[in-house]
Amino acid sequence: MDYEQIRYTHPDGLVRKRPFRAVTFSQAVIVFIIQIFLFLTVESSVQYYLGSGGLAITEAIVFAVAVIPVWILHADPREVFPIRRPNRWSTGGALVFLIGAYSFSVIMNSLMMLLFPDEFAAVYESSKTGSGTFLTDLIVICILPAICEEALHRGLIQSAVKESVHSLIGQSVIMGAFFAFFHIYPIRYPSMFVMGMALSYVYGLTGNLFYSSLMHFSCNLFATLLGYIGNASLTASAFLPMHTGFRLAVSGESVSASMTAGSFGLILLFYGIPAVFFLYIGEYLIRRGNDAVRPYFFPKDREEEKRVLWRRILNPVIILAAAGIFLILTAMIFHR
C-alpha cells in the first residue's frame, strides 16, 4: 500500500479529543456571584431550617458550584483541582504557617471587637450552631468545608486568577478578598482576608490542594475543639477564633463582647511577634519539601540576606512591638 492509496482515506477507530480550556477570571467571578446568590436565597434558608444538615447541604452546593463549571467549560480537572502525594516537610511547614496566619486572624478579630464590640457580638450570636454530636460537627464543620470550599476557592477561582496575575502575592491578595466576601459578614472580613491569603499563598507555593485543605481542616478543628472546651456553642464558620485574647460573655441567648486598647496591645505583642517567625519558618519548610533544590534558611548573598532579614522579620517585629507598647502605655495613662 503506497501513499496514493491512503491519501483520501479516514483513520478508523480514532476520536478527535477536544482540547482543554483555561477558566478565565471573568468566568470565575460569575461563578462566585452565583454562589453568593445561592447562599442568600437557598443555602441560608436550608441552614436555618435544618441546622447541621443544612450546613452539609450548603457545602455540597458549594462543591457543585466548583465542579460543574469545570465540566461545562471543559477545563482540565487535573489542573483546576491538583492533588498529589504530600511531603512531610511541606506538611509540617503548612501547619507551622497556619499558626502564624491564625494568630494574625486573632489580631484582626480583636481589632474588630475593639472598634465594633456590639456588631461583633451580634455576628457571633447569629452564627451560633451546634449539633451536640462531635462526630457530626467534625464532618460538617471541619471536613466538608476543607474539601468543598477549597475546591471552589483554591481550585476553580485561583486557577483562573493565576492565568491573569502571575505574582503569588497578588494572587493571594485577590483570593483573600474572595474568601472574605464569601463569609458575608463585614465584621469578619479582615480575619477571613488574612486566612484566605494564607491558604492561597501556601497553595501557590505547592500547587497542591492537599496542603490548603489540611490547613482549612486544622483551623476549623482547632476552633471547634475550643468551642467544646470553652463550653460555648460552635460557630457556623469555625474560622472565628475563640481565644482568651478577648472575652465573650454569654448569658442565656445574649452575647456581649469587650476589648480594651491595653488588651489589644498585649495581643499584638504575644500573638503578632511570634506569628512573624511562624510564617517565615513555615514557608521555609514548605519550600524545603517542595522545591527541587533545597533552599537555604537565609539567602547566602550577604546583601540579599540583610534585605530579607529586615523585610520579612525585623521590620514587622519592630512595628508590632512599637504599636503594642504604645497601646499598653496609652491604656495605663488614660485607664482604658
Q: Which of 109-113, 175-179, 305-309 has the lowest mean pLDDT?
A: 109-113
| Higher-pLDDT residue of 1, 72 | 72
Average pLDDT over residues 275-298: 94
| Residue range(s) defining the domain that contains residue 156 | 20-76+88-334
Check pLDDT > 80 for residue 59: yes
Give this prediction's pTM. Answer: 0.87
Q: Are 185 and 108 in contact (CB under 8 A)?
A: no
Q: How confident is the model at residue 252 (pLDDT cuts 50, 70, 90)?
A: very low
Q: Could you give the CA distance from residue 108 to residue 122 in angstroms, rounded to a whole number? A: 17
Residue 308 in any domain: the answer is yes
DSSP class per residue in 95-154: HHHHHHHHHHHHHHHHHHHHH-HHHHHHHHHHTB---S-HHHHIIIIIIHHHHHHHIIII
Helix (H), strand (E) at residue 248: strand 247-251
Q: What is the pLDDT of residue 117?
A: 83
Q: What is the pLDDT of residue 260?
A: 86
SS3 state at 199: helix
Q: Could you give the CA distance from residue 25 to residue 156 in angstroms, rounded to a whole number? A: 10
Residue 24 in any domain: the answer is yes
Structural domains counted in the chain: 1
Q: Could you give the CA distance from residue 297 to residue 102 in angstroms, rounded to a whole number? A: 23
> Would you state the cell numbers that stand for residue 328, as one nine-digit string?
499598653
Q: Which of 12-26, 43-57, 179-193, 283-297 has the lowest mean pLDDT?
A: 12-26
- 322 exposed, middle or buried (CB, 10 Å; 0-12, 13-18, 19+)? exposed
| Higher-pLDDT residue of 328, 224 | 328
Q: What is the pLDDT of residue 336?
A: 61
Residue 280 in any domain: the answer is yes
Residue 12 in any domain: the answer is no
